[in-house]
Structures are given as C-alpha cells and as structure tokens.
Amino acid sequence: MIRHVSPVKESNFTWKQLRYITLYAGDIYIHGIGLDSAVYIPHTAFPSDESAKRFYAALVALWKSRGRPETVPHEVRAEFAPHTGVGDGPPSENLPA
C-alpha cells in the first residue's frame, strides 16, 4: 500500500494500481489507475540529485516486486524510512513549522 498525503487530500493506493514511474529533471512522477493525477515528488524533497535517483530506483524496485521491501538494499530502506513526525528531528525546510 502506498500512502500519498498532500495539503489538499490524503489517498492510498496499491502497487498493482501503478502503471509507470518517471524521473524527469530530478522530479519523480507516479502514474496509476484510479489516481486523479500523477503523484509528484519534487527534486527539492531530496538533499541531492543522487539521493533522488536512489529513491527512484527503490520505488521502481518496489513497484516491480509489488511492494516487497527485501528487493531494496537495507541501507537504502534506512535512508528513506517513513517518518512519523514525532521525534524524527527538525521539521523539513519545505514544510510549515
């Protein structure tokens, strides 16, 4: 299950609903059945271009395996582990305080 949260809405969709994932100019777009529009992850969400490329590669591996985390190396999973917002350190520069 993939959870997408934006300032406007929150939605969940399955790996099976994905049709393709693109990396364009450092930004990641996730397209799928039943999505109103593509899920957009801007390159500014990552500390570097290399980090964005690692996330993209992990996302594609998860998509192809229908969400099996063992298809992504442990160090990459640790780098992009979900944050709960509690005790995760300082808030992102891109989010309101």
- pLDDT tens profile 62-79: 999 988 888 988 888 888
Calpha distance 84→97 (Å, rounded): 15
Q: Which strands, in side-by-side order, build the sheet including 39-41?
A: 18-24, 27-32, 39-41
Quote the pLDDT of residue 85.
57
Instruction: Tell whether the model's pLDDT for residue 89 goes beyond 50.
Output: no
Quote the pLDDT of residue 77.
87
Phi, psi of 22 (to 5 degrees): -125, 150
Quote the pLDDT of residue 36.
66
Quote the pLDDT of residue 83.
65
Domain spans in the chain, listed from the N-terminal domain onward: 2-79
Calpha distance 58→71 (Å, rounded): 8
Q: Is 5 left (phi over 0), alpha (psi -120 to 50) or beta?
A: beta
Q: Tell which CATH classification among 2.30.29, 3.40.50, 4.10.860, 2.70.98 matches the domain 2-79.
A: 2.30.29
Lookup result for tokens 């998509």? 63
Q: How confident is the model at residue 31 (pLDDT cuts 50, 70, 90)?
A: confident
> Would you say 18 and 30 are in contact if contact means Cβ atoms under 8 Å apart?
yes
Which of residues 34 and 51 earns the better pLDDT score?
51
Which of residues 58 and 7 earns the better pLDDT score?
58
